[in-house]
Amino acid sequence: MIAKKSAPSWKQWVFPCLVGVILLAYPWVLGTVYTNIFIYFAIFSVFAASLNMLVSYLGVLSFGHALFYGGGAYATALFLDHIEGLGLFTVILIGGAAGAALGLIVSPLLNRVKATAFALLTLALGQLAYMACLKLRFITYGEDGVGGFPIPDLTLPGIASINMMTAENFYYLAVVVLSLCLLLMWFLTKTPFGSIMIGIRDNPDRVDFLGFNLPMTKAIVFVISGFFAGIAGAVYALFQNLVTPDGAFHIMTSFTPIMMLFVGGIGTFAGPIVGSGVMTIIEELATRYTTQIALFNGILLVLVVMYFRTGFVGLYLLIREKLFQKESS
Amino acid sequence: MTDILETKALSHDFSGLQVLENINFAVKQGERHAIIGPNGAGKTTFFNLVTGVYVPSSGKILFKSVDITKAKPYRLNRMGLGRSFQITSIFLKQTPFQNIRLAVLSKNKIRFNLFRRVDRMDEINEQTHEILREINLEQEAHLETSTLSYGKQRSLDFGMALATEPDLLMFDEPTAGMSRDESQTAVELIRKLTENKTMIIVEHDMDVVFSLADRVTVLHHGEILATGTPREIKENAGVKKAYLGETEV
């Protein structure tokens, strides 16, 4: 039999409550600048976590994840630009739906290739979106991007209408929406579908011969990953109130979450979140002394790839193991 | 008894190299059938054709009277054809429990469930433990699979093939690379697992074949040389010359 976990005690609530209190107090303690930095971190955590579903759970590397993120950002911005009276959550879901739809559209193509070819195909699709965005001026306004669209208030029917233009209010919205996304993605890895995904990563042929439909399963993963990347893009669009080809579809938008994944640790759920945190902090510290942030990011990535390939999460696990061994001996 | 698997004029070549020629082969319901033959006789190619890894150059394959010549592996599995792999094909980074559970999920047709935690599906977990008991891996259920001995990994491989409850089980050289002891344990396990089931085993180890099979088919240079009971095959002059003579059984 499986060893049953001990009954829930107050101890397991300490950590979540602590995190909750910190998140609540954060904007009031640290001020607007750091609140905005935190929102960036939260957006990229979800974006990187959606990429992580492909990398750590399905075992394929996407170099063009900006396709879904940018798709979500543009969908949200364009809907707000053209249609009046859309609700806040509606436009966020529109962003997610756009990402999911793009995932569905590209899945027949992505299902035909593996490994390196997969990475290159995603790169090509991402770049295609970037170019299309620049050229289709009548829809996307080209390089100028879509900006100045109205940001809807958060209306709770009969209770209140909350203005989303202040950093603090938007912070709470972003934290709630993005935490929910992370929670859903985490839950997904614990479902039977999550087991099948991990099986595909480790041994696709066997999964095929266990009676699972590989192309269909992968397509669903692309759709889900696209959905969450789209949500991240939608929150980004609302936060910036401006979506440009460079911000949404640029190749660096695809590479940033990959770097975050490597830095945080591939193969774990927490990896992209930790990576996003570490890179945000480093960027913030570096900007105080230099404008060459890429230099610091680059050095960090080289160090991670050369010396601790399991990333910060792997490093943490290693240290914990070492300490634990000392205690027990 | 009816034929569960049938091939009609099955031929296959790899870019001009004829590997199998005009194979007419049948396995009856409830039979343990062995396919033997010297290296390069086309055994593994035959196995791969039936299990949907390759599509044959010509000919037909019928499973339960349905044409499966071009069917994809996952379809074959859903129709009731299970297989083990020659090179142990398991999920090494996961535990035996997780390995078997994946097969059990498939058997229960849980393929796209995104709404429940798999740890809390008691029925699934109970079935998984049942299979683990059958293949004697209860003790190791929650260790990482890569740390298990080769023999145990093979047992796990059989367990996964078995867990989807196939109507026809196919084994591709199940004892390859095993020590004498391991091999004996594996044979016993296969015998136990395939009790009252239909099985095809591709093998070159004569002891294994003659102790497990009801009927034997000998492949030689891509053609069927003989089919019969183990005793008939042992006494067949052509077979002796082509195959048994070389290994001095």
pLDDT in tens, A134-152: 999 888 898 888 988 888 8
Within a domain: A11: no
Asked if A58 and A218 touch (Cβ cutoff 8 Å), the reply is yes
- Name the average pLDDT for chain A: 89
Distance between A200 CA and the closest CA of chain B, angstroms: 9
Distance CA A222, CA A121 (A): 14
Asked if B143 and B95 touch (Cβ cutoff 8 Å), the reply is yes
Say if residue B16 is in the same domain as residue B59: yes
User: Residue A145 is encoded by which pair of tokens?
Assistant: 């991007």
- Do residue B118 and residue A211 have CB atoms under 8 angstroms apart? no
Say if residue B172 is in the same domain as residue B246: yes
- Do residue B164 and residue A211 have CB atoms under 8 angstroms apart? yes
**What is the band of A329 on the pLDDT scale with cuts at 50, 70, 90?**
very low
List chain A residues with CB under 8 Å of B142. 2
CATH number assigned to the domain comprising residue B47? 3.40.50.300
- Do residue B74 and residue A199 have CB atoms under 8 angstroms apart? no
Average pLDDT over every residue of A174-189: 93
Q: Does the pLDDT value for residue B247 go beyond 60? A: no
Distance CA A118, CA A104 (A): 16
List chain A residues with CB under 8 Å of B83. 209
- Give the closest of B74, B121, B142 to A212, CB-based: B74
- How many separate helices (H) and strands (E) can be counted in chain B? 10, 10
List chain A residues with CB under 8 Å of B91. 198-199, 202-203, 206
Within a domain: A5: no
Using the Cβ of B45 and the Cβ atoms of chain A, whether some distance falls under 8 Å is answered with no
Within a domain: A74: yes
Within a domain: B220: yes
Average pLDDT over every residue of B44-72: 91
For the stretch A39-42, contacts whose Cβ atoms lie closer than 8 Å and that sit 24 or more positions apart, written own/partner, are A39/A167, A39/A170, A39/A171, A39/A174, A39/A235, A39/A239, A40/A280, A41/A276, A41/A277, A41/A280, A42/A174, A42/A175, A42/A178, A42/A179, A42/A235
Within a domain: A10: no
Percentage of chain B beyond pLDDT 70 is 97
Within a domain: A279: yes
Say if residue B102 is in the same domain as residue B158: yes
Say if residue B175 is in the same domain as residue B248: yes
Distance CA B203, CA B175 (A): 8
Within a domain: A17: no
Within a domain: A131: yes
List chain B residues with CB under 8 Å of A217. 111-112
Instruction: State pLDDT tens for residues B107-131.
Output: 898 888 888 888 888 899 999 999 9
List chain B residues with CB under 8 Å of A5. none
User: Residue A264 is encoded by which pair of tokens?
Assistant: 């945080």
- The pLDDT assigned to B149 comes to 87
Closest CA to B36 of B178, B155, B157, B213: B213
Say if residue B60 is in the same domain as residue B114: no
Q: Which amino acid is at A136?
A: L
Q: A203, exposed or middle or buried, with CB in 10 Å at 0-12, 13-18, 19+?
A: buried
Cross-strand partners of B7: B25, B61
Asked if B226 and B25 touch (Cβ cutoff 8 Å), the reply is no
Q: B103, exposed or middle or buried, with CB in 10 Å at 0-12, 13-18, 19+?
A: buried
Say how many Å lie between the first and final Cα of chain A, rounded: 30
Contacts of residue A182, defined as CB under 8 A and 6 or more positions apart, other chains included, come to: A45, A46, A49, A273
- The pLDDT assigned to B1 comes to 59
Instruction: State pLDDT tens for residues B134-159.
Output: 888 888 889 999 898 888 888 898 89
Q: Does the pLDDT value for residue A1 go beyond 60? A: no
Say if residue B18 is in the same domain as residue B117: no
Using the Cβ of A196 and the Cβ atoms of chain B, whether some distance falls under 8 Å is answered with yes
- Do residue B102 and residue A210 have CB atoms under 8 angstroms apart? yes
Instruction: State pLDDT tens for residues B71-92.
Output: 999 999 999 999 888 777 889 8
Say if residue B220 is in the same domain as residue B173: yes
- The pLDDT assigned to A327 comes to 56
Q: If you count them, how many residues does chain B have?
A: 249
- Do residue B89 and residue A202 have CB atoms under 8 angstroms apart? no
Dihedrals phi, psi of B15, to nearest 5 degrees: 30, 60
List chain A residues with CB under 8 Å of B172. none
Q: Which amino acid is at B56?
A: P
- The pLDDT assigned to B179 comes to 83
**What is the band of B207 on the pLDDT scale with cuts at 50, 70, 90?**
confident
Distance CA A56, CA A268 (A): 7
Chains A and B form CB pairs within 8 A to the count of 88
Say if residue B153 is in the same domain as residue B174: no
Using the Cβ of A220 and the Cβ atoms of chain B, whether some distance falls under 8 Å is answered with yes
Asked if B19 and B44 touch (Cβ cutoff 8 Å), the reply is no
Domain that holds residue A126: 31-322
Distance CA A173, CA A88 (A): 10
Hey, which residues 155-194 in chain A have their CB within 8 Å of chain B? 187-188, 190-194
Average pLDDT over every residue of A27-31: 87
Q: In what order do the strands lie in the sheet with B223-228?
A: B81-83, B168-172, B198-202, B32-36, B215-220, B223-228
Beta strands in chain A (DSSP E): 146-147, 154-156, 160-162, 242-243
Asked if B200 and B168 touch (Cβ cutoff 8 Å), the reply is yes
Domain that holds residue B51: 1-80+168-186+197-249
Q: Does the pLDDT value for residue B212 go beyond 80? A: yes
Distance between B122 CA and the closest CA of chain A, angstroms: 11
DSSP one-letter code for A64: -
- The pLDDT assigned to A50 comes to 96
Cross-strand partners of A51: none
pTM of the shown model: 0.87
Say if residue B144 is in the same domain as residue B178: no
- The pLDDT assigned to B89 comes to 85
Distance between B107 CA and the closest CA of chain A, angstroms: 8
Closest CA to B106 of B75, B132, B142: B75
CA atoms within 13 A on the CB side of A114: 6
- The pLDDT assigned to A6 comes to 54
Say if residue B161 is in the same domain as residue B172: no
Average pLDDT over every residue of A212-228: 95
Q: Does the pLDDT value for residue B244 go beyond 60? A: no
- The pLDDT assigned to A249 comes to 94
Q: Looking at this predicted complex, what is its ipTM? A: 0.82
Average pLDDT over every residue of A79-87: 90
Say if residue B97 is in the same domain as residue B66: no
Which residue has 């993005």 as its token pair?
A178
Dihedrals phi, psi of B220, to nearest 5 degrees: -150, 125
Number of domains present in the structure of chain B: 2
Within a domain: B10: yes
Number of domains present in the structure of chain A: 1
Hey, which residues 210-249 in chain B have their CB within 8 Å of chain A? none
Closest chain A residue by Cα to residue B79: A211
